[in-house]
Protein backbone atom coordinates (compact mmCIF):
# COMPACT_ATOMS: atom_id res chain seq x y z
CA UNK A 1 0.00 0.00 0.00
CA UNK A 2 2.87 2.36 0.71
CA UNK A 3 4.08 1.91 -2.86
CA UNK A 4 0.80 3.16 -4.30
CA UNK A 5 0.76 6.07 -1.88
CA UNK A 6 4.25 7.08 -3.03
CA UNK A 7 3.18 6.71 -6.67
CA UNK A 8 0.21 9.02 -6.16
CA UNK A 9 2.40 11.52 -4.31
CA UNK A 10 5.12 11.82 -6.98
CA UNK A 11 2.49 11.93 -9.73
CA UNK A 12 0.78 14.82 -7.94
CA UNK A 13 4.11 16.59 -7.54
CA UNK A 14 4.90 16.19 -11.25
CA UNK A 15 1.46 17.47 -12.26
CA UNK A 16 1.75 20.49 -9.99
CA UNK A 17 5.21 21.36 -11.34
CA UNK A 18 4.13 20.94 -14.94
CA UNK A 19 3.08 24.60 -15.29
CA UNK A 20 6.36 25.82 -13.85
CA UNK A 21 8.30 23.58 -16.23
CA UNK A 22 6.40 24.98 -19.21
CA UNK A 23 6.97 28.57 -18.07
CA UNK A 24 10.72 28.22 -17.61
CA UNK A 25 11.23 26.25 -20.82
CA UNK A 26 10.51 29.28 -22.99
CA UNK A 27 12.82 31.68 -21.22
CA UNK A 28 15.44 32.56 -23.80
CA UNK A 29 16.50 35.68 -21.90
CA UNK A 30 17.08 33.88 -18.61
CA UNK A 31 15.52 34.23 -15.20
CA UNK A 32 15.33 37.99 -15.09
CA UNK A 33 12.58 38.64 -12.57
CA UNK A 34 11.11 37.26 -9.35
CA UNK A 35 8.32 35.37 -11.09
CA UNK A 36 10.71 33.47 -13.35
CA UNK A 37 13.03 32.73 -10.44
CA UNK A 38 10.11 31.49 -8.34
CA UNK A 39 8.90 29.21 -11.13
CA UNK A 40 12.41 27.79 -11.61
CA UNK A 41 12.80 27.14 -7.89
CA UNK A 42 9.36 25.54 -7.75
CA UNK A 43 10.17 23.25 -10.68
CA UNK A 44 13.60 22.25 -9.31
CA UNK A 45 12.22 21.52 -5.84
CA UNK A 46 9.39 19.42 -7.28
CA UNK A 47 11.72 17.41 -9.54
CA UNK A 48 14.12 16.67 -6.68
CA UNK A 49 11.31 15.71 -4.31
CA UNK A 50 9.67 13.46 -6.88
CA UNK A 51 13.00 11.72 -7.56
CA UNK A 52 13.59 11.13 -3.84
CA UNK A 53 10.19 9.46 -3.62
CA UNK A 54 10.65 7.44 -6.81
CA UNK A 55 13.98 6.03 -5.63
CA UNK A 56 12.25 4.51 -2.59
CA UNK A 57 9.73 2.55 -4.67
CA UNK A 58 10.65 -1.12 -4.56
CA UNK A 59 8.46 -2.30 -7.45
CA UNK A 60 10.52 -2.08 -10.65
CA UNK A 61 7.62 -1.21 -12.97
CA UNK A 62 6.22 1.51 -10.73
CA UNK A 63 9.70 2.96 -10.16
CA UNK A 64 10.37 3.01 -13.90
CA UNK A 65 7.04 4.70 -14.49
CA UNK A 66 7.86 7.29 -11.85
CA UNK A 67 11.25 8.03 -13.35
CA UNK A 68 9.68 8.35 -16.81
CA UNK A 69 7.25 10.97 -15.50
CA UNK A 70 10.13 12.88 -13.91
CA UNK A 71 12.15 12.71 -17.14
CA UNK A 72 9.12 14.01 -19.06
CA UNK A 73 8.89 16.89 -16.58
CA UNK A 74 12.59 17.69 -17.04
CA UNK A 75 12.28 17.58 -20.82
CA UNK A 76 9.33 19.94 -20.69
CA UNK A 77 11.54 22.40 -18.77
CA UNK A 78 14.43 21.91 -21.22
CA UNK A 79 16.50 20.69 -18.29
Instruction: Output the tens digit of pLDDT for each of the chain's 79 residues.
Output: 577 787 788 788 888 888 888 888 876 455 567 777 888 888 899 889 888 888 888 889 888 988 898 899 888 888 7
Helix 2-25 / helix 60-76 crossing angle, nearest 10 deg: 10
Round to whole Å and give the CA distance between 34 and 27. 13
Q: What is the pTM of this model?
A: 0.76
Nearest to 72 by CA among 21, 3, 7: 21
Distance CA 16, CA 12 (A): 6
Amino acid sequence: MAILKRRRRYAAICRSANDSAEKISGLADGLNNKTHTHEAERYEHAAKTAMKIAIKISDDLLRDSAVRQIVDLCLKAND
